[in-house]
Structure 1
Amino acid sequence: MYVLVLILVLLFFEPGFGLKRTSSCLPVCSGEDCITVNQKRVDFQSAEEACRSRNGELLTLQSETHQRIFDDLSKKLSGSFWIGLRLPAGSCSDLSAPLRGYEWTSGNRTFTPSHVRWTDNLKLCFPCCVSLSNNQEWKESLCSDKTNGFLCRTKQQHACQEKERIFKKTDGCKSGPCEHQCSSVKEGYKCSCFSGYKPDREDPRRCRLFCGQETCPAVCESRDQCSCPDGFVLGEQTCEDIDECDMDQCEHSCLNSFGGFMCFCLDGFVLVDHVKCVPAAAAEGFFITTPAVEFVKNGTLRRSAGTEWVFLWIWVVVAVTLVLSVFLIRFQVVKRQKRREQTQQAAAAPVDNVEF
């Protein structure tokens, strides 16, 4: 029985069965400036609104830092991602003009980066917007089309974070609702975090450790009790980023960032369950119950709270299997025991004398 239990446990919990859940928003930063990669199929206008909701703007390339990050990202991304460039209403593209007549959605509308390479060479006269496509090329598409995602520019402290949330409560901060800092406002209260922390995505009133670079000092309560943000491993009182891309977490291509990573698929494939690539034709109705797992402070794996139902279902299956196995084994044992008793009784029975 114990062997059976061990086999079942190994089947369900073998290494790699659960992987760290990647976020749909991944920040790639240099100093205080960041570009966030957002994997969400939306049209151009929805992408603009999503960037603003995270205290940013759809990406415009008007600073050396953003251009440097963008050039590096261009080599690693697969798919099409909206950037903040569109054709003015009622205009046609002009192949001889800088940026083909397109304008940036913010900043200097006519600023031209040093390297621009277009996928097509056609004059277009309908509402068009631009996305970064494969092979570092810029692609013109209908603004109503849905791409694989979009790129935002923002500051590190706002990267992938929604705007400050106002919690409605009549007594404001009197009950101490925030883990770190609380500010009373007319409608209720707002929470903020100390330096080195950021609001928790699941509960903005709480704070979690944050490191916006490759190595950060660990937060130590004592010499032997130190903590690191998720996605970092503890060294000698320092926290070092885990490069999940070196661990072959993604099937096709991978982008690592401080504290996280994001997977991408080649043309003709669709990303499923954050890390798997399946043929686009087979993706419809595709469902995977692989549980999400996060890296915790010491670099080990931790099951995320959102997948408890998966493990509950697994244990139900294990329990039912064990019960059935017990009944089957007991049935076989009883059956053999009865057969053995019948054989022994037949051998022990007296033989009548026969006269010839």
Structure 2
Amino acid sequence: MKDATGLFVVVLTVLMGRVGGIQPNNGYCIGNQCFTVFEDPSDFTTAQHQCREKNGHLMTVRSSVSNDILPLLLGNLTGRYWIGLHRPTGCPKNGAALRGYKWVTNDSESDFFNWENFNSSCSSPRCVSVSEEDGFKWTQVPCGEQTNGFLCEHSLTNPCKSLVLAPGESVTYRTPMGFEGEDLLSLPQGSTAIKMPSETKYVCFSEQWLKAPWTCEILEGGCEHKCALDSNNDPTCYCEQGLTVNPANKVTCEVATDDPCLQLNCQHVCYQIGGSHSCTCNEGYKLAPDGKSCVDFNDCKDERQCPGENFKCINTLGGFQCVCEDGFKPRGGLCVDVNECESAPCEHECHNWPGTYNCSCSEGYKVDPESPDKCKLHCPDVECPAVCDHNNKYQCYCPDGYISEERADHTFCIDIDECSSYQCEQGCENTFGSFVCSCKPGYTLVDQVNCKEVEDYEFSSTAPGTFAPTPFVPNPEPTRRPSGVTVGGLVGIIVCTVFFIVLVVFLAHHFLRSRGKMESAGALKASEGEAHGLHHVTSDMS
């Protein structure tokens, strides 16, 4: 048998090439070329794109041989179909070989010409189609017009020739391009063939037909039911219980007249060794101790499974996968580092490392612990210059836990002493931009600021009045510096002050008024005494 790895790569490639998209209605292969027809209404550009997706191009009809293939492809179809002939620019040239037109392969070489009523004006249509109704002649059609479909051409590498058949035998071919046929003269690699009436299967690989069962990784080795490796590591077909492999073709299953595997009750596969039967498992599994059950074989235990730097092995059910480590991507058979910084994940600065990256912040900022790709203002001291808008010097910003203060030449951020506003129920320690609450022994911190008595607390030798350390607490009100006096107390002080001032003014006024009255009364009495001539007289009793 040919190299199974090479077969796997070739067949997997052609199978992946035909996954998805529209499927051809018909096809034909000869020599190193295959031709397919797609009954799908399309304009010229769309048809050209569809052929490229199928690893081909629009069909070139350069010879009478390729022209004879058109009836085989379109014999049962009506309507117009694009071929790969068009005029990219300019006007038609009657003297030129293709009259100014070119094949989509960008050349003008052709041994065959088959124009239908050629229009030589500059306004003539630039694209060409064929149809069974016009005898497959080349007809000029506007490129933007939708035809009934298009014809594709595919080049083959190391194709297989058709199988030699014995009298009474027939064969059906299935190509990776998605069409079947019985009279194909050449087959692309990955094509399968089934000979009848023996139902023998083959697969085309590197110009040779390999008889089934081939490697189990490709289409179950051609087996009707299951393919697994036998004790000699050769691919072997197996059937369900009650059925046995046909000894002639070794791939199909037929009813067993006396099947000893029924009694074994194998979970996966029952096979014969000499005169006895035993259980085995599908690839990627191993036989359990009971001799009939199958368990997944952890291929990743073998460190040799995924060699190479930055690769890792992922165990899957029945197999494994080699993938790149986190932070790496596959390229050219290697795992190369992904430069995460190219997608600008960081708000300020990004530093790429093998398999990862990290973010850093500009001066005056620090990484936000809740979002490592973001930056927040940071001041490591009691006060720091504020960050102000270059276009508006009065629009300034301070870190959380700081309050702005305008000075003559700049605005500064001043740390708020949250402890002065009694933020904590018991102990409080002010920090730059925040504060930390703590509790006395016998209490535990709840809600980051309150203290709750611990039930059944046993006091230790800790000195009275000490506080237990507590985690960092974010500042609840970072926008202003709290006052040490409550609003009610401040109102009381103001009222008392006003009352005291009023009382002093009233007493002063009353005192001055009373003194004025007393002086007025004394003057009046003196004047009255002088008016009546009253004098103080002393009597001499002697």
Compare the two structures and name the one with the higher helix fraction.
1
Assess same fold via TM > 0.5. Answer: no
Report the TM range for the smaller structure's normalisation: 0.3 to 0.5
- Which TM-score applies when normalising by structure 2? 0.25
- Which TM-score applies when normalising by structure 1? 0.37
